[in-house]
Copies of this chain bind each other. A is one copy, B any other.
Amino acid sequence: MTTDTARLQAPHADRAPDSGRPVMPRGARLRPLSLTDVRITAGYWAELQHRNQSAILPHIDHWLERTGWLGNFDAAREHRLPAGRAGREFSDSEIYKFLEAMAWELGRRPDPALQRRFDAIVARIAAAQEPDGYVNTRFGRPGQEPRWSDLEMGHELYCVGFLLQAAVARIRTGHPEDLLVEVARRAADLVCDVFGEDGIESVDGHPQIESALVELYRATGDRRYLEQARLFVDRRGHHVLKEIEFGREYFQDDIPVREAEVFRGHAVRALYLAAGAVDLADETDDGALREAVARQWRRTVARRTYITGGMGSRHQDEAFAEDFVLPPDRAYSETCAGVASVMLAWRLLLAEGDPAYADLIERTLFNVVSTSPSADGRAFFYANTLHRRELGGPADPDRPSVRAAASLRAPWFEVSCCPTNVARTLASLAAYVATADEDGLQLHQYMSGTVSHSRADGQELRVTVTTEYPYDGEIRVRIDSRADRAWSLSLRVPGWATRGASVTVGADTRPVGPGTLTERRVWRPGDEVVLRLPMTPRFTYPDPRIDAVRGCVAVERGPLVMALESVDVPRTASVDALRVDVSAPPRVVDGQVVVRFHGLASRDHNWPYSARGDEHKPEQPIKTADIPLVPYHAWANRGPSTMRVWLPVDATRA
């Protein structure tokens, strides 16, 4: 095994020293900051990162060994495949996502034990790599299907993509000569040989490698990877894959990326592809391509997105449904689609600066990504339903669950993409907090910690943020750096803060509305900007075209979507027999959001449809109770329960 060290060290002049940015577009409007530029020190996000480090990562490590998915690489080295290969066709990708998570974690703080574990796993992968760079435990050996023989569903390039992403994380955290980088580059070079201009004119059924190739180009400067990403993006949509039962829309091979109007088909596939297309657009100055994706994003957000930020309404093909088809009970809202949506919105935010992208990131991080892991970090939601009607027992702690059994957190899944995706996202969370541009700093998400940036002119900008957000609306930003010249501090006022937000700068307090709030001045150390966001809980109504939640309201507080959980309902296991009294606004009592409900007496009839006045009287609420709601992301942590996000309104009081 050799490495092309000359090429590895090739100069890529326009790049700052890489130190932990998941995305590094060249021409973007906003520059991402690194995991060391942004430090999360306390509060909600710090707890999530701690949970990731102390529980989620060891849990994943345990299951990757236990299931034999890591062992597949040893079996490959020892020529024991295909007999006894464990796991689905994409199981290799989980190891790569786990490595990526570890790489970001190691970029945040040294951890010799974690580093040893990382190196040991990389060695096992490297030993399984074929002389020509091919590395996949599922294809290509005697007794296995040939390489690239099932582009529709084989996930070979998808797996390579995550390998590249893990390598990019190593390069960006200071290890450009890591063995993992060598393995990844050899795999990427093979992909370029096989799928290049004169190679197989096709794509992978599961997009993902597109973004990974652009990122590898960014991290190494090798334009071949960018060119390969362009081929993959441009080929898709021209029916290059075989038709499958779910149609070509499933893997976005129905319409070219540049021509589509909305995201459709398998949600994770659609969003990974879109992220890759934005990456490509950024590096090739292709404004038309980026605008095509942004247009699809806008329509998808306006018509195909759950209130949680979740995407994907269909279990059958894990797919987007038609406009306004957003059933809460069959919400698929896959955790990985949430991760992919954050990746996409972040890329669009960097490119365009529109706070709407950061709004969706916030919503998705608090209400999808946060919802997946249990409070102890040892179980996960794969899908994130918004309505559970039946009590479910706990998932079997001793074996993988079927992914579609999605209404319970489970320790592991036969298709276990979500836990590792959560882990790599939480490990790199700081990267999504803030950006910089020529003029100053932009804070997009609020957490307690520090944000710093060394400007091109050598000036150091640094602020400390103190907040208990999302439980409290006060966000205190203190300037720590001394600068001679004026610079801008920008804060996002979330889209949900339509009234009641204010900002205090010095002695001056004034109301502010949703959007970007920019204060430009010569800042002195100790100067403070205090943003106060309105944390009064509120009723939220759906667009009347969303049939599935007609006559219902949701309750939100700040960025958190709230849920009614049966463990909080007196004397009943069901949440479905309650009607909200919208004449009584939701209140905060002892830190809990409390809503007034009327119990509904429902009788069974032989046939559940009738003329009014016959069997079905208008609903007759019978009892009144004030019941606390929980943040949606926290539900299902207190034993089996039923749950609703969308609450039917008591029509007699509306």
Q: Spell out A's residues near B (CB within 8 Å).
A: 245-247, 298, 301-303, 305, 307, 314-316, 322-325, 327-330, 356, 359, 387, 389-390, 402, 404-405, 414, 495, 498, 538-548, 550-552, 554, 576, 600, 602, 604-612, 614, 616, 619, 648
Contacts and interface: CB of A to CB of B under 8 A. Distances in A.
A386 B622 CA distance: 33
B546 A608 contact: yes
Contacts of A604: 302-303
A609 B302 contact: no
Contacts of A602: 543-545
A406 to B, nearest CB: 11
Contacts of A307: 609
Contact of A611 (B247, B538, B609): B538
A321 to B, nearest CB: 8
B298 A608 contact: no
B550 A648 contact: yes
Contact of A495 (B302, B541, B607): B607
Given A316-B316, A548-B327, A606-B298, A611 B541 contact: yes
Contacts of A539: 611-612
Nearest to A600: B544
A616 to B, nearest CB: 5
A301 B604 CA distance: 11
Nearest to A552: B550
Contacts of A498: 610-611, 614
B247 A541 contact: no
A543 B608 contact: yes
Contact of A245 (B404, B541, B606): B404
Contacts of A414: 245
A509 B329 CA distance: 50
A300 to B, nearest CB: 11
Contacts of A607: 301-302, 359, 495
Contacts of A327: 327, 330, 548
Q: Is the interface of A mostly helix, strand, loop or mixed?
A: loop
Given A495-B607, A606-B298, A551 B550 contact: yes
A303 B314 CA distance: 22
Contacts of A611: 498, 538-541
Contact of A616 (B301, B543, B552, B614): B543
- Enumerate the 10 nearest inter-chain pairs by beta-carbon distance, A residue then B residue, closest first: A543-B608, A316-B316, A551-B551, A550-B551, A315-B316, A307-B609, A540-B609, A541-B612, A322-B389, A544-B619
B545 A576 contact: yes
Contacts of A648: 544, 547, 550
12 contacts: A245-B402, A302-B608, A314-B315, A315-B315, A327-B327, A329-B547, A330-B330, A495-B607, A541-B609, A542-B609, A543-B608, A545-B608
Contact of A605 (B302, B329, B538, B548): B302
Nearest to A389: B322
B540 A356 contact: no
A414 B303 CA distance: 32
Contacts of A616: 541-544
Given A324-B576, A495-B606, 20 more contacts: A245-B402, A247-B402, A298-B606, A301-B606, A302-B607, A303-B604, A303-B608, A322-B389, A322-B390, A324-B389, A325-B329, A327-B327, A387-B547, A538-B611, A539-B611, A540-B610, A542-B616, A543-B608, A544-B600, A547-B576
Contacts of A402: 245, 247
A551 B608 CA distance: 15
B389 A325 contact: yes
A313 to B, nearest CB: 9
A305 B605 CA distance: 12
Nearest to A245: B402
**Most central of A305, A359, A387, A607 by chain B CB within 10 Å:** A607
A264 B616 CA distance: 26
Contacts of A302: 604-608
Nearest to A303: B608
B543 A324 contact: no
Contact of A404 (B246, B389, B605): B246
A404 B545 CA distance: 24
Contacts of A538: 611
A444 to B, nearest CB: 17
A600 B544 CA distance: 9
**Most central of A315, A323, A547, A648 by chain B CB within 10 Å:** A547
A541 B404 CA distance: 32
A613 to B, nearest CB: 9
A323 B614 contact: no
Contacts of A303: 604, 608
Contacts of A576: 324, 545, 547
Contact of A356 (B305, B316, B606): B606
Nearest to A314: B315
Nearest to A356: B606
A576 B325 CA distance: 12
A609 B556 CA distance: 11
B605 A543 contact: yes
A605 B323 CA distance: 13
A584 to B, nearest CB: 15
A496 to B, nearest CB: 9
A616 B550 CA distance: 13
Given A390-B322, A548-B548, A542 B608 contact: yes
Contacts of A544: 600, 602, 616, 619, 648
Contacts of A540: 609-611
A387 B324 CA distance: 13
A176 to B, nearest CB: 41
A548 B547 contact: yes
A246 B389 CA distance: 18
**Most central of A314, A356, A404, A611 by chain B CB within 10 Å:** A611
